[in-house]
């Protein structure tokens, strides 16, 4: 296989860590960004203990200038980004009638605007080299909506609109752009949902349990593979049957 440089934004999180493991397992050089140096160093060491050497770069993906600087630093350290996973995401759940402008903006900036901030500085290089893989990690809640998540669902739905436009613009340059929409996976983000609410959600999942991060990472590895060259503009739902749109 060809070894490539893969950037997973928010790689230190639950789903992000699993994606880092999978891509490293395929032989790629994997990079991630961080904001908190102490947390990042502890995470880097835990990955190193698993035999995975992650290229770490400081940068806030919700900030356009910081993201551009982060990409330039990363490319100087680890080579041009050929695989990009826009994975960084946060929640600020609240019913809309109680939602503040700040809760709205934090979620839109980190989940959606980050796709612009991080992809814009890598797209020219991918077009020049005539190869690229871009995957947005969206959510089931971008597809079906969710009580208490007008901000998150709007941002996550926007990510797929971004994917399908980029997919059209870049298809002739060997670049595929896809979306993965995970359902409820047993990460810190989902475990922060109040237990009684979470139990009701799990009861709606036909498979009968929360997902595992590796079940998402497996699909990301598939979509970024050499042979996935004719899959572009797709939105792959991985949710235990919780939402079966088409």
At 29, give phi and psi (nearest 5°): -85, 120
Task: Name the closest residue to ligand CAA (Cβ).
Answer: 148
Q: Does 12 bind ligand CAA (CB under 6 A)?
A: no
CB atoms within 10 A of CB 44: 19
CB of 87 to ligand CAA, least distance (A): 12
Q: Does 147 bind ligand CAA (CB under 6 A)?
A: yes
Catalytic residue among 22, 34, 147, 152: 152
Residues 159-198 that bind ligand CAA (CB under 6 A): 184, 189-190, 193-194, 197
> Which member of 3, 46, 95, 204 binds ligand CAA (CB under 6 A)?
95
Beta bridge partners of 135: 85, 178
- 152 assigned to active site: yes
Select from 50-58, 71-79, 145-153, 223-231 the region that touches ligand CAA (CB under 6 A): 145-153
C-alpha distances (whole Å) from 11 to each of 42, 66, 170 are 13, 17, 25
Q: Which residues, other chains included, contact 150 with Cβ-Cβ below 8 Å and sequence gap of 6+? A: 96, 99, 104
Q: Does 110 bind ligand CAA (CB under 6 A)?
A: no
> Crossing angle of helices 114-129/64-78, nearest 10°?
40
State the greatest distance between any 2 C-alpha atoms of the chain, in Å, as a whole number. Answer: 52
Give the interface with ligand CAA as residue ranges (CB under 6 A). Answer: 91, 93-95, 98, 139-141, 146-149, 152, 184, 189-190, 193-194, 197
> Which active-site residues does the annotation give?
152
């Amino acid at each position: 296989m060809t070894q490539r440089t893969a950037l997973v934004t928010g790689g230190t999180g639950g789903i992000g860590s699993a994606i880092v493991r999978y891509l490293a397992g395929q032989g790629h050089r994997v990079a991630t960004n961080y904001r908190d140096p102490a947390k990042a160093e502890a995470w880097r060491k835990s990955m190193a203990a698993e035999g995975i050497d992650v290229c770490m770069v400081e940068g806030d993906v919700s900030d356009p200038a910081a993201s551009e600087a982060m990409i330039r630093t990363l490319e100087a350290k680890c080579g041009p980004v050929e695989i990009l996973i826009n994975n960084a995401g946060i929640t600020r759940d609240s019913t809309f009638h109680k939602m503040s402008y700040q809760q709205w903006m934090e979620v839109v900036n980190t989940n959606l605007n980050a796709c612009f901030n991080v992809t814009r500085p890598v797209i020219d290089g991918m077009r020049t080299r005539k190869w690229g893989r871009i995957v947005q990690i969206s959510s089931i809640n971008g597809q079906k909506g969710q009580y208490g998540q007008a901000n998150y669902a709007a941002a996550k739905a926007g990510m797929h609109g971004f994917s399908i436009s980029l997919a059209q613009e870049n298809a002739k340059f060997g670049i595929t752009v896809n979306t993965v929409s995970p359902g409820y996976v047993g990460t810190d983000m989902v475990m922060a949902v109040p237990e009684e609410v979470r139990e009701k959600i799990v009861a709606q999942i036909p498979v009968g349990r929360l997902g595992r991060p590796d079940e998402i990472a497996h699909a990301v590895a598939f979509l970024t593979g050499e042979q996935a060259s004719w899959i572009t503009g797709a939105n792959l739902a991985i949710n235990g049957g919780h939402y079966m749109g088409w």
